[in-house]
Amino acid sequence: MLRKIIHIDESKCDGCGLCAQACHEGAIGMVNGKAKLLREDYCDGLGDCLPACPQGAITFVEREAAAYDEAAVRAAKAQAAVPQPCGCPGSRARALRPVQTAPATVMPSQLRQWPVQLQLVPVQAAYLQGADLLVAADCAAYAHGNFHQEFIRGRVTLIGCPKLDEADYAAKLTEILRRNDIRSLTVVRMEVPCCGGIQRAAATALEQSGKDIPFQVITLSTDGQVLA
């Protein structure tokens, strides 16, 4: 049937996951670090997700689509209401299958400073001057086997978890960027929605610092693959 339904522009999506949280019908999910309309028949066309998107990646379109199925949505919600260890995608238990390779030579650590926890790093530590800065999610180094060589090498590393740490990362990062001659800023995050907080904090800090610093975001899957 011809009806109003949401459209997600993946080129604008930063993978924050806020739209998926705002969608009470469960029509939106995160796939490879991007928001996707997973079920047309779950989308009621009311657009609760639109104001939640900080990038303006969601709009309404009128096109042929499956009719909204309220009964199916209710059934899905009832199933989701069954007690689970945790409803957050980032905490969902799953088994992974690591790739088996021949034993390799032990690689030396590429860590250049201590501490590494974002909340513990002084905003004007001497090692921050002239640094290429890596802001990484706690889980990233465990997920990606070659993390030291690919991401830590040559960079000052700060780590954090926006879900577990009750802190304003943006404020701390803003001061670090303002007070130091940072040459570049790289964020390495996981694909799960809650990890979008560390990306948003870095982007906000860069904007508030008023500096023009090269900025990139790298997203890892839960099995350690580089998605973007």
Dump pLDDT digits (tens) for 1-24: 899 999 999 999 988 888 988 888
CA distance 189 to 217: 8
pLDDT at residue number 129: 94
pTM of the model: 0.61
Topology of domain 2-83, CATH? Alpha-Beta Plaits (3.30.70)
Hey, where are the domains in the chain?
A: 2-83, 126-220
Which amino acid is residue 119, in one-letter code?
Answer: Q
Sites in the chain below the pLDDT cut of 70: 80-104
Contact call for residues 129 and 101 (beta carbons, < 8 A): no
Give me the count of residues in the chain: 228
Dump pLDDT digits (tens) for 126-150: 999 999 999 999 999 999 989 999 9
